Amino acid sequence: MRIGLDATPLTLSSGGIRRYTEELALALAACFPEDEFHLISDQRFKALAGAPGNLFVDSGSPLNALTRKWWTIGLAKECSRLQLDLFHGTNFSVPYLPLRPSVLTLHDLSPWLEPCWHHDAARVRRRTPGLLRLGVATMVVTPTEAVRNEAIARFGLKPERVVAVPEAASPHFQPVAPLVRKAPYFLFVGTVEPRKNLGVAVDAWRELRKSHVVDFVIAGRRREDSPEFVPQEGLHLLGEVEERELPGLYSGAVCCVYPSLYEGFGLPVLEAMQCGCALVASRDSAILEVSGGAAIHVDAKDTRGWLAAMELLLQDRAARLAQQELCLQRARQFSWGNTARLTREVYVEALGRF
């Protein structure tokens, strides 16, 4: 089988969709050496380190005015040139002309729930519903059953066309020697943006710090529309952090806090758990599904609830160790190999349905 994957997310420096595209491509190529996988984009991106020989990079600018209409003409011509059997749109889109089977990954429904969460998602909001409702995408993949149910209800999709395939954390996310810091700290990892609701956890920490020596560390790319945080001793905004440094940050934290208002999966949640980091997270449906009872859950906007949960894990070592063990047990149920195998089953289903 020859499979094309949309590699445009690989032009980003970080983020969950970039991580998904990279890890899925590597896992597919490793698990299915008899197949060919082509990372395709009209934009330049770097080849993936350690890529198997059956994972190819096809990137660059369209050659003429006609093929610059990428999703209508350019991508279709590239798929024909590569003689692909199927195209996988890893980022909310597939070729507009259904000349071959396609699979669309619908990461979440956030572009349609609150416009302020995605100030630059106008194209996704316009084009993706049509691709779904008109059946241009042969099959749809969601990262959780929560998103699958939302997609079926919102876009009127046939349930048999939508499959929930859980994501995973990279194998290098595991308990390691913690990074040495002057004080114990709570940790948030992820893109700093309105949907992450980070202000609630920071407010809880500010109150807690009046009586406890504890820091708050924020690791992640800051979006232009992200909230401003008043500078304060103990509040550390690290910005974008090298991925190799994250396991040490997770492993040394009192707990990871994830107060997001809405998620499709919540990859940092699983990364933290796989590193044996205790977790306090919101009651979002997808996060509840991923954590599987291993986290302490708090209503997203309940500042007092966040304060109580964070104080418990800071003060009660036994409670923290128990949460860490629960997180490790739950994380063992996920792997990119399993994600790749389930995704390929969707490819086979799409080929049969087309």
Amino acid at 74: G
Indicate if 185-331 has the same CATH topology as 2-168+335-353: yes
Helix (H, G, I), strand (E, B) or coil at 185: strand
Q: Write out pLDDT tens, residues 145-175.
A: 999 999 999 999 999 999 999 999 999 999 9
pLDDT above 70: residue 348: yes
Question: Following DSSP, what letter does each residue of 287-350 receive, concatenated?
Answer: HHHHHTT-SEEE-TT-HHHHHHHHHHHHH-HHHHHHHHHHHHHHHTT--HHHHHHHHHHHHHHH
Displacement of CA 27 from its chain's centroid (Å): 16
Question: Can you list the alpha helix ranges (DSSP code H) found in 89-197?
Answer: 110-113, 122-133, 145-155
Q: Where are the domains of the chain?
A: 2-168+335-353, 185-331
* Residues 268 and 289 sit within 8 Å (Cβ to Cβ): no
The CATH number of domain 2-168+335-353 is 3.40.50.880: no
- Mean per-residue pLDDT, 241-270: 96
Residue 134 predicted with pLDDT over 70? yes
The residue-averaged pLDDT of 165-192 equals 94
Give this prediction's pTM.
0.93
Q: Is it the case that residue 61 has pLDDT exceeding 80?
A: no
Q: What does the pLDDT average to over 39-47?
A: 90
CA distance 350 to 339: 17
| Cβ-Cβ contacts under 8 Å for 38 (sequence gap 6 or more) | 2, 3, 4, 5, 56, 57, 58, 82, 84
According to CATH, the topology of domain 185-331 is Rossmann fold (3.40.50)
**Which token pair is 337?**
């190999």
Q: What is the pLDDT of residues 204-249, one digit of tens each?
A: 999 999 999 999 999 998 888 888 888 899 999 999 999 899 999 9
The pLDDT value given to residue 67? 67
Euclidean distance between CA atoms 255 and 258, whole angstroms: 10
